[in-house]
Structure 1
Amino acid sequence: MIRLQVQLLVAADGDYKLMEINLNYKPAAVQLPKVRRVRQKLEPNPYDAAEVLLSELASWLKSNPLPSGGRVAIAAGSRGISGISEIVTKVAGLLKAHHLHPFIVPAMGSHGGATAEGQREVLEHLGISESICGVPVISSMEVVCLGTSPSGVPVYTDRHAVEADAIIPINRVKLHTDYRGPLESGIMKMLSIGLGKQKGANSLHRMGTEHFSRLIPEVGQYVLEHAPVYCGIALIEDAHHQICHVELLAPKDILSREPQLLQLAKQKQAKLPSALLDVLVVGEIGKDINGDGMDPNVTGRFGVPGLTGESVVQKVVVLDLSEHTEGNACGIGLADITTAATVSKINFAKTYMNVITALVTNGARLPLIMQDDQDAIMAAAQTCLNVEPAQIRMAMIRNTNCLTDIWVSEPLWKDMEPEGLWEALSSSGQILFDQDGRLMTGVMN
């Protein structure tokens, strides 16, 4: 029998946090397979995204000049995009060199606990701050209603952004975690949801993500027509989690070009070594990693019913929250098993605000809670169907953005090796845990 004792402490500011978990359960010890560290064979990426972008932006400024002294809102989101701090900094620097007054606005819907300070802190963790980027960060949850879209949806936009002379949204184009369509994560989603703050994000999510393939283009186009969007900056990452393509988009071209960029992003995305796994151990989840904490396009676990991916995994284990997620555990409900240490880090206020805004609550459910990493992996191994624990096909990853260097079990490696797409970085050995049952240093790095 599992006996779980939970103690919640309500702080003076009204926040509440899980303070104590006592478990009177320990899974049976089973023999785990040996594992080895492997690396995906990928071509190096010499692409200098910042320099390419600066060249394109300089040319755009020359052919589409803004009035001297004009205020330019640079819209930045909450995702951990590779090199995003450098890109935002260089964009801001180039704008200043053209005698403009750029500033940064968070464009992340309800993230950061749906508070101005929380969203400022999210950007700071990504290296986007006034001290680093050299321009002010104006974080506010204030929005203005630009009107209603053709189908009657109210369209909200950050007040400071819409009152500027120009808006430049910067975002990564990639597959979305909650819906499929010609436009998924990218510039149009940032315009329609990210810049809409909590009010705008909630307005669209209330329509249901199954309608996003229609709503994102419709609402995003309305913003393009009624707000001073100067250009969009689209970023694409490769399997190394490095930017491999950057493109400046004229407002009139965003709607038509972004679907093409989405297909390029799909080709470049990293994948697990096999679509069929018994156990996937994820070292950390977080909003800075993916909107769902861990990318469903990698794990095959989607928060929205009906969506499926290439991966089929019997058991998903989550061992920690990322530092920069600040306790937002959105996505923990997509795991089967986690640890007491992980649950103790959850900020329920931020997590619940996020899933309630998105109207998809199962991402905040708690999975089975084991006392430590060792118990969590043991429990996963012994609950897989049609395979002995010592023979499970298991992959161990740091997070769903880091899939080039991973650990795999020997039964899985035997299937991977003949394909020649991966190289072994170590010989096989037993999974090592310290005296507190935590994975030894180096296994998830």
Structure 2
Amino acid sequence: MRRVVITGAGTINPLGHDLPETFAAMKAGRSGIGTLDFRDADRLSIRIGAQVKNYDPQTHFSRQELVLFDRFTQFALLAAREAMGRAGLTVEGALAERAGVVLGNSGGGLGTVEDNYRTVFEEGKNRVHPFVVPRLMSNAAASQVSMAHNLRGPSYTVASACASSNHAMGQALMLIRSGMAEVMLTGGSEAMLCFGGIKAWEGLRVMSRDACRPFSANRNGMVQGEGAAVFVFEEMEHAKARGAEILAEVAGFSMTADASDIVMPSREGAARAIAGALRDARLNPEDVGYINAHGTGTAANDKTECAAVAEVFGAATAGLMISSTKSMHGHLIGGTGAVELLAAVMALTDGVIAPTIGYEAPDPDCALDVVPNEAREARVGAVLSNAFAFGGLNAVIALRSAP
């Protein structure tokens, strides 16, 4: 089997505008959650979120580009730019046809949608900008990334709610394994923090009004975030031949469907995905030192996820660390798995386990080592990253230390 490695990573998210800032924030246990700042936020019941602050699009893109780029596309382009730079990779010649991009996204250009609904319904105008569709379509980010980096191979978008990024990265892994590609840019991007984006989630009554406290007995819901992370996945021999630095090996992937409920998670479906990723990676439970949990901070998710982990790992849970970085950067919906894979990479490259901050009280239904409140130095050789989406869609990625 062709082996796949990560040779570059880039991000912009509520913890930082690049990879070093994000790693520093995760190590410090710093929260990116605060008071929402956008039009009509005062009309919302939920007024907190994890926004990308101090961000000026005009410092990164021209006026002509910004006409075409919704915020979620901007984030993807910036993350991809950093990832390619860190990978030291330029795609040209024959490689272009064997290089592609698969990104996860759930909401598409939601800011563009909202702005134009306001134009038509609130302001009463009968015309919108001719580029509304190229801005709002879910594949806009993947398409713009392909054009920015001359990626002429398999390129598309995966939309599966909160599992979108993990599904996208799993697809990228399989494309390289199969021989259809040598290099794939992959990850996810989301920018749903606008009035309509928050108002829709308010209706589900799963949002916290004060903080995201995964696994804590007094948790009271999730907090939305925004941002992107993009990785360079590369066939291992191709990476070695060009002398690339290898951050980690993408060892395995699994995806399952609960086929039971549109919003309630299933222990059985999650457990099958976790076990499948271990099997695909040829790992035993005791080989895994850390899991980046889906860990939304809702009562249903955290309890179900802990039960699934306990079922698969059994006695091996005694040496297992599990944390939810959503406590810091919020839930990025379609982009969340990508930003969370950064914590998995950090565990392997830096020997630091990102914490679950905001943890205040133990919950007997979440009786695992959740790395509460402070990062921990620990050497691990293999890690998992979980994503469990509305619709009962589960996707788990396994990483190993660089070969």
TM-score normalised over the length of structure 2: 0.29
Q: TM-score, normalised by structure 1?
A: 0.27
Give the greater-gyration-radius structure (CA): 1
Q: Greater relative contact order (Cα 8 A, min sep 6): structure 1 or 2? A: 2
